[in-house]
Chains A and B, each alone.
Chain A
């Protein structure tokens, strides 16, 4: 009954916001609102207005923010005082779409980006990543720590999530507006991260993706052990 009322409410309100929303989207928003009420409203407030010491306002976060936080499993968060971390995603694809559609109606936030990284420049991305991201995430996208936070490695996020995170600045990460990092530059950065997920490890073993020399060190160590063992064996045989 409550749900029906919500659908009716949205049906009444929606035409005022957009000229002619397709039927399916409207239904999505209603489902999203109920999902929101069940999973998010405890911290973000009943209408996404935010609650002091619990959760920030969702006004103007847009589809971009909602899509990022839900698809990475960052949200819902058990304890608002802990750092959101990549976990199992609790919603189905259809539920995520509904939830994102609902959050997008709170204020006027940005849409979900679609990074065109396949034709972007890995070299330019490497330089941009060094300037803006490598300080925390490291050039080998391995992540790390910061006083007060863990820094996630970047081998799991999809290209879309990387592009979203740059705009959102989740948790303690700064956020980068289209003025600071243009959409073209963002494509380059995504291209670099996609490359760095599977870098060209010529030596065979990755060992920190530091280039061939850690592998060389290990090889030398193994070779030296074999040499010493051989010498010992020869020595024993000669003595006997």
Chain B
């Protein structure tokens, strides 16, 4: 621990103390350096510190994720950070940047004048006495703000550990229930109709929970269940295309209303139309003694929208 502390101090000293000896003596300047404003400088340092603190507070509030009114706190932290940053900029502009007013008639041809002004700018003195510290504080404040702005990107999904995405509540023996929590009997699944089912006693909000159940043939073997989440962009499969008279009409399909990805329920959820890149995961079913539907295992593939490398992963309980 103390070793780490020593390292930290050494690094800080290196960073702050570097090139200190090389400070050049001020040469003749066109614009006088002006009197140093130690108090204004301290104020700027304090403001930068406060900005950093606000940025850190944003990240901390985001990481805790349990706080009431989280959105409001996040907004407050970010808003304060920007307001303080603006204040710091105002103080620098009004009190710490060298100002010089030159009033003279504007010349017709001005290349020389431009050169002069550029020279003035280049050679004008500085009122900063702790330039490196102010730069460091400013960099720290901006860096923290940048980090804080990037933090919400973590919510886009698990980046390092994607196992949660392939986890589903389905396992052998778990009963299928309808929206009101009643178990579903295989005999109640009628042809030409479609049903939504959930795992009994599990979180229905999980991406692997909802199922669409249809009958593709007579008897107990004619009932099939698929994940209700489209493998393209993760919308709910809310459409069931079921011909009244298959001889002259398009065949049955489970269709996603977002981009019309269509899956064939009779051929293991094969994609027959639309942008989906892999079949709809199928849940193997079994029927218990009471005639109710139960899962006979987990899905045939990973559930939910596709991402890089999704095919290499299977569904896990």
Contact = CB atoms under 8 A, between A and B. Distances in A.
Interface stretch (B76-84, B108-116, B140-148, B242-250): B242-250
A169 interface: yes
A149 B250 contact: yes
Interface residues of A, number: 28
A170 B244 contact: yes
Given A135-B239, A174-B242, A54 B193 contact: no
A131 B178 CA distance: 13
B24 interface: no
A172 interface: yes
A54 to B, nearest CB: 7
Contact of B250 (A131, A168, A172, A176): A172
B260 A175 contact: no
A187 B77 CA distance: 52
B190 interface: yes
Interface in A151-208: 168-177, 179-180
Contacts of B248: 53-55, 80-81
Interface in A7-37: none
Nearest to B236: A135
Chain A facing B: main interface SS? loop
A147 B262 contact: yes
Interface in A108-167: 131, 134-136, 146-149
A147 B192 CA distance: 18
Given A147-B274, A177-B193, A171 B247 contact: no
B247 A53 contact: yes
B192 A174 contact: yes
B224 interface: no
Nearest to B237: A135
Contact of B240 (A53, A80, A174): A174
A147 B249 contact: no
A189 to B, nearest CB: 15
Interface in B245-296: 245, 247-250, 253, 255, 257, 260, 262, 273-274
Given A135-B257, A174-B194, A175-B190, 15 more contacts: A56-B245, A136-B238, A146-B260, A147-B260, A147-B262, A147-B273, A148-B249, A169-B193, A169-B242, A171-B244, A172-B244, A172-B249, A174-B193, A175-B242, A179-B190
Interface of A: 52-56, 80-81, 83, 131, 134-136, 146-149, 168-177, 179-180
24 contacts: A54-B247, A54-B248, A55-B248, A56-B245, A80-B248, A136-B257, A146-B239, A146-B241, A146-B255, A146-B260, A147-B250, A147-B255, A147-B262, A147-B274, A148-B250, A149-B241, A168-B244, A169-B242, A172-B244, A173-B242, A174-B194, A174-B240, A175-B242, A180-B195
Interface of B: 179, 188, 190, 192-196, 236, 238-245, 247-250, 253, 255, 257, 260, 262, 273-274
| Those 7 A-B pairs whose CB atoms lie nearest each other, nearest first | A135-B238, A148-B250, A56-B245, A172-B241, A147-B273, A175-B192, A174-B240
